[in-house]
Amino acid sequence: MVKNLNILFYIRKDKADSLGNAPIYCRITVDGKRSELAIKRETPIERWVPGNEIIKGSSEEFKSINTYIDTVRTKIYDHHRMLEDANKTVTAEAIKNSYLGISTKSKSLFTIFEDHNAKVKSLVGQDFAAGTLDRYTTCLHHLREFVLSRYNKSDFFLCDIDNEFITELDYYLRSVRKCANNTTIKYIKNFKKIIRIAIANGWLLRDPFLNYKPKLKKVDRGYLTQEELDKLAAKTFSIPRMQQVKDAFLFQCYTGLAYADVNKLKPEHIVKGADGELWISTHRTKTNSNVNVPLLPEALEILNRYKENPMCINKGLLLPVLSNQKMNAYLKEIGDLCEINKNISSHLARHTFATTVTLANGISLEAVSKMLAHSNMNTTKIYARMMDSRVSDEMQGLKSRMKNRNLKIA
């Protein structure tokens, strides 16, 4: 049944700002029943022409807004026709919801996010790592703070999320939270997963991320040079905890294991390989992928050092590893004492293994990728940097070959 549809654009003078700019609203009326929405545009009050529903003036800004008003009007007519073609109930509210891309019953963003995090929490250790839950928890916290500061609301509905919301969130993370580019994008990626859940469940019909196209910046991952690694290995500490932290870090440098994997390493994870040598055989906490790494003599020496350690014996572990936070705090102090002018953290060890310990010594990219348990070779290629010492060695070889060739010609 065809419904009588009327569309009216008007301004809300009561919502005008201090400069006299009022927001433009659209009123949809079907058979005498209304529904209204803000079109996210504003105009100087004196420039608005009510009868014509346009802004008076020849500036490009005013022309653009007038064009946008026509576009909104056309889209509303289109959504009205789509509802009729689909034999759905046509009301002013239904047309508005269809235009906004939301279901009839709008849901709370934070309720959906909390439900998602609760499910992740229940699957930690099975399908998710504890760090994954931490990231989603932090993302939700930042999102709450953003909505409170930007919109003065304690909750937010899916129907109100649009491209402007996302770009404002992006700006908030960079400016207020002081997040770097890649950190900002990772948080928004976490948020985007919640939006995908909403779309999959039919709670949101329009993807607000369609026009959001961020780009990750290539990051030069830090690592220790061979000289720095040797300096650290040669340093001894009288304080047991400092020595333990240094040894755990060095063990990571010689094996490529992440902090979470060293922290849970047990005697059963050391096996004899097909070559008759000792290997580490475990699973990455982050991805649950297989990890198989031959034990270098330096790594084996560190393990032997803690065979009789009371903490290791009581917990059934191979190394006495502190919490990641405490370990990184000690590593900063250790770096200062060793006069290594780098931000040393437990993750730096993994980079050092990939770069200085393996690739710089001629280990193939494929072998390094397998030991790091990377599912994508492109991830490993990040570490495939050519250090000056290796470039020098290879160029010396080239010079020698060219010299011999010239001698033969002569």
Residue 187: how many CA atoms within 13 Å on its side-chain side?
A: 24
How many CB atoms neighbour CB 352 within 10 A? 29
What percent of the chain is predicted at pLDDT more than 70? Answer: 93
**Which region among 177-191, 232-246, 310-324, 363-377 has the lowest average model confidence (pLDDT)?**
363-377
CB-based contacts of 203: which residues, under 8 Å, 6+ apart?
Answer: 102, 103, 106, 107, 112, 158
Q: What is the pLDDT of residues 243-294, one digit of tens each?
A: 999 999 999 999 999 898 999 999 999 999 889 999 999 888 777 778 899 9
Per-residue pLDDT for 221 more than 70? no
Q: How far, in Å, CA of 165 to CA of 162, rounded? A: 5
Residue 4 has pLDDT above 80, yes or no: yes
pLDDT in tens, 167-177: 999 999 999 99
Predicted confidence (pLDDT) at residue 116 exceeds the cutoff of 50: yes
Tell me the average pLDDT of the chain.
88
60 confidence band (pLDDT: 50, 70, 90): very high
Average pLDDT over residues 24-31: 95
- Pick from 297-306, 308-317, 360-369: least confident: 360-369
- The tokens of 42 are what? 């504003």
Indicate the pTM of the whole model: 0.58
Are 163 and 63 contacting, i.e. CB atoms less than 8 angstroms apart? Answer: no
Mean pLDDT over residues 308-312, rounded?
Answer: 92
pLDDT one-digit tens code per residue, 339-362 = 998 888 888 998 899 888 998 888
Q: What pLDDT, on a 0 to 100 scale, did the predictor assign at position 410?
A: 58
Angle between helices 226-234 and 240-255 (to 10 degrees): 150
Say yes or no to pLDDT of 236 above 70: yes
pLDDT confidence of 408, banded at 50, 70, 90? low
Q: Is the pLDDT of residue 390 over 70?
A: no
Indicate whether 373 pLDDT > 80.
Answer: yes
Beta carbons of 338 and 368 less than 8 angstroms apart = no
* Whole-number Å distance between alpha carbons of 81 and 78: 5
Output the pLDDT for position 59: 94
Torsion angle in degrees (nearest 10) through CA of 366, 370, 374, 376:
40
Residues paired with residue 204 on neighbouring β-strands, in sequence order: 102
pLDDT grade for 386, boundaries at 50, 70 and 90: very low
Q: What is the pLDDT of residue 216?
A: 83
Q: How far apart are CA 16 and CA 71, in angstroms?
A: 24
Mean pLDDT within 155-184:
92
Residue 387: pLDDT over 80:
no
Per-residue pLDDT, averaged over 369-395, amounts to 70
